[in-house]
Amino acid sequence: MKKRDLERHLKEHVCRIARQAAKHEMWENQATGQRATIPRHCEVKQATVRGLCRQLGVPPLANPR
């Protein structure tokens, strides 16, 4: 899945970038305070996306591309 699609989904569910590093970004759910590290790659594996959504407490993507 494209990283920009994942970012759009997270932003729709009140998540934001907490900090950035060279190869990863730390995202935070503003409602719950949960955090997850997202790799800075153009493509992110679907299993990784499911795990990240679970860690951040947001629903999984309905129609992954």
Which one is the CATH code of 3-56: 1.10.3470, 3.30.70, 3.30.920, 3.30.420? Answer: 3.30.920
The answer to whether the predicted template modeling score (pTM) of the entire model surpasses 0.85 is: yes
Q: How many CB atoms lie within 10 A of CB 25?
A: 16
Residue 37 CA to residue 18 CA, distance in Å, equals: 10
Residues 6+ apart with CB under 8 A from 48: 39
Q: pLDDT tens digit string along 4-59?
A: 999 999 999 999 999 999 999 999 999 999 999 999 999 999 999 999 999 999 99
